[in-house]
Structure 1
């Protein structure tokens, strides 16, 4: 055998060994991963979190088989930033996705690269909302509507099934990103709901238009639940349920006032369930505080990857395994209003009990153009403005939404809809001061300069990949 032939033979043995190792890892139980994401679904509208208007039997069944998180949050209640956070383990300033429709910093790694290094196939079906391609090189899986503002929510499980079943020797991670209940609320059957009998949450104006539109939104949650059920049923059909980690999350709040595009609880709070047979106790609930940037580190930890990666988040695997009852001490939030309207930067922090909000431009009028001006998609807001002339309760809601104080403080246990601002309470001064200090520390650690970043120029640069330098802005 020549020297060259010997090298080729050795190389072949190495490659064969790697293939056998990878296959053996999966045969020994390297779990598949299925992540199912709703689109703009307020967590408190799900029966799992106390919602009284719509039944979600498939989501409830999943919860009965896994662990439900009572205190899971996104850092920004907008589609692109929160998905970037979920996929990268980074908070907005570090990923560069500090605005809706911004792109991640060049060189950022995502779940695709991290799991790819562990021999996983990583695909996405449905809504993507993650750029650039080099950061998120997902395999595009067919079968789920990708356009979140389509008047349909097409769903065909055949493409999902093909991806799951393609290679039994190699584990997969499939993100199924559904487009319900994102507006326009045009799918499902609103006749299932009597608008006059709906129990509207306290942050919504109680008038005919709101009740009619809320029924349409609930009809989309019914479709969401059905699609969640069909997706998870594929695991049983393929007989891989026992070796698949399933995550369901409701994303940020709905496109309603006091929800999406805000730092209020119903904007940043997300529904979150994890099922992992044999590892996570069925029907369990936890009050542990977690955020989207904790999810990727947790998955890597669950797969035995102990590499020192510089995530903003950290693994809550001990919570899943029942070894700990707590995770984070604080969760942090930010909002930059451009391009959804004029600049209106917000930052906030919670310890799970109290939520401190700082509006960085309190003298400005808050305007969100999609919610307030895009008729016929949002017919309820004009009705609020019209009815405010004669209804003081509706006038108060319109005023609260657009004219905000410099600081807000809420007791999330007693007032989850955050209707009573406690910022002036003397007996809560110490709590307010502590949360304010923690927020300052977080912004400094992130390199977040505050109001200066919420500008069209910064967003324009970010869309072109010319991300700001936090150190320059801090100085």
Structure 2
């Protein structure tokens, strides 16, 4: 009789401790942009608008200066974010190519640690459900090419306040993804905008940039609404807020390329009582590292087969470095003709290999004369050929690429000066090539062979 009295008391004590452990785990809200040129954020040096709400996250948290996508396209980047795997291993190594259906993702890993895992907004990478078991929350627009982005927070509010169980909610904005039809363009004077240095200055370019920046403003407003909701509901006290910029904008030389204008992203981490306000780090991280970090935050053990590694020690100020190299891949189908690219970088140098450099680069969204009404920036640049030698340099750089590119991104952040043939850098280039080829072999990446058209599953 005595042991039966002890047993239920022991069970209750264990259950109570377990419940208390779950209750004290931090909530996580991840707000992700869509095609954001992170250089436009004022906290990252942008001068065309003041991104007040995003800047507030930087003021109250940790800013990452070296976060990179492994493929500068929406679907591969998000698949890498959710699975912790590089594109060839998760299967979505072309835009809109599905992941393999035998994988696990952050939805599984955090659920196993007692979390509810939800997603509101852009839902390109939520299928199959067996791989991405997110609880879909109404509120934000799921279609990234929608001409409107109307949203409401009632369902988000219900989700974050429904019970004591910790949650991880992905808020996936569609801004500032093309077609750039939302936001208030009257805030901006096209003639006074500061253009990226790798652009040709044309009236069309400035006009499109105005529309783009209006959506960056819209994104900043959404960030403000989410952080305000957390505060109003008292959720801010035990909630980590992470802002992610995704890959670069749909302008020539950014998205769909492996230059930093496409690959370099942004990340801000707010964690009350854990992260020093207004701090920043130069630790090198990739999107594949985020899910392992979330598992670490939630108290889980490292998943040995993932490509990413936790950078929780960096967030907590216990380490200054996370990884030595960042690796990247681009396969151009279905966004254009085959044009496979691979790259490797550390915080200073970057090696890019164009695997079919004998061909011209082509992108169907920017360079197809039949679709100029969607984004005619490229054609406005081509129209300037012959008027200024710099125009030819910029357009040739985009279409006619050498087999090897090597840049000192510290001295040359826009990657204009190719050092591939400079004798002073040959040892570093060979070292980077060796590392890159070893990574491709480890990933099962056959290079140009995989940039082909794949049959869709019935």
TM-score range, shorter chain: over 0.9
Q: SS in structure 2 opposite 1:327?
A: coil
Structure 2 equivalent of residue 134 of structure 1: 130
Deviation per residue, 1:201-228 (Å, 9 max, x gap)? 1111111110111111111101000001
Deviation per residue, 1:257-285 (Å, 9 max, x gap)? 11100011111111111111111111110
1:60 and 2:18 matched: no
Structure 2 equivalent of residue 204 of structure 1: 199
CA distance in 2, matches of 1:464, 1:24: 45
Structure 1 equivalent of residue 274 of structure 2: 279
Please state how far the C-alpha of 1:13 moved relative to its aligned partner: 9.9
Listed as ranges, the matches of 1:176-215 within 5 Å are 176-215=171-210
Structure 2 equivalent of residue 42 of structure 1: 37
1:124 pairs, out of 119, 123, 136, with 119
Instruction: Say what the alpha-carbon RMSD is for the aligned residues.
Output: 1.9
Structure 2 equivalent of residue 159 of structure 1: 155
User: TM (normalized to structure 1)?
Assistant: 0.92
Structure 2 equivalent of residue 218 of structure 1: 213
CA distance in 2, matches of 1:135, 1:19: 30
Structure 2 equivalent of residue 237 of structure 1: 232
Structure 2 equivalent of residue 408 of structure 1: 405
1:306 and 2:298 matched: no
Structure 1 equivalent of residue 339 of structure 2: 344
CA distance in 2, matches of 1:162, 1:309: 35
Deviation per residue, 1:378-414 (Å, 9 max, x gap)? 0211111112132322222111101100000111111
Please state how far the C-alpha of 1:132 moved relative to its aligned partner: 1.6
CA distance in 1, matches of 2:443, 2:10: 43
CA distance in 1, matches of 2:203, 2:391: 13
Structure 2 equivalent of residue 173 of structure 1: 168
Cα 1:308–1:209 change in 2 (3 A) is: closer
Q: Are 2:284 and 2:326, in contact at CA under 8 Å, matched by a contact in 1?
A: yes
Please state how far the C-alpha of 1:430 moved relative to its aligned partner: 1.7
Q: SS in structure 2 opposite 1:124?
A: strand
Q: SS in structure 2 opposite 1:270?
A: coil
Q: SS in structure 2 opposite 1:102?
A: coil
Please state how far the C-alpha of 1:20 moved relative to its aligned partner: 4.5
Listed as ranges, the matches of 1:64-463 within 5 Å are 64-130=59-125, 131-167=127-163, 169-373=164-368, 374-456=371-453, 459-460=454-455, 463=456
CA distance in 2, matches of 1:444, 1:120: 36
Please state how far the C-alpha of 1:18 moved relative to its aligned partner: 7.9
User: TM (normalized to structure 2)?
Assistant: 0.95
Q: SS in structure 1 opposite 2:265?
A: strand
What are the ranges of 5 or more consecutive residues in structure 2 without an aligned counterpart? Answer: none
Deviation per residue, 1:217-263 (Å, 9 max, x gap)? 11110100000111121111111212111110110000011110001
CA distance in 1, matches of 2:387, 2:402: 24
Q: SS in structure 1 opposite 2:34?
A: coil
CA distance in 2, matches of 1:420, 1:277: 42
Q: Are 1:148 and 1:182, in contact at CA under 8 Å, matched by a contact in 2?
A: yes
CA distance in 2, matches of 1:76, 1:14: 51
What are the ranges of 5 or more consecutive residues in structure 1 without an aligned counterpart? Answer: 1-5, 466-475
**Deviation >4 Å, runs of 4+:** 12-22
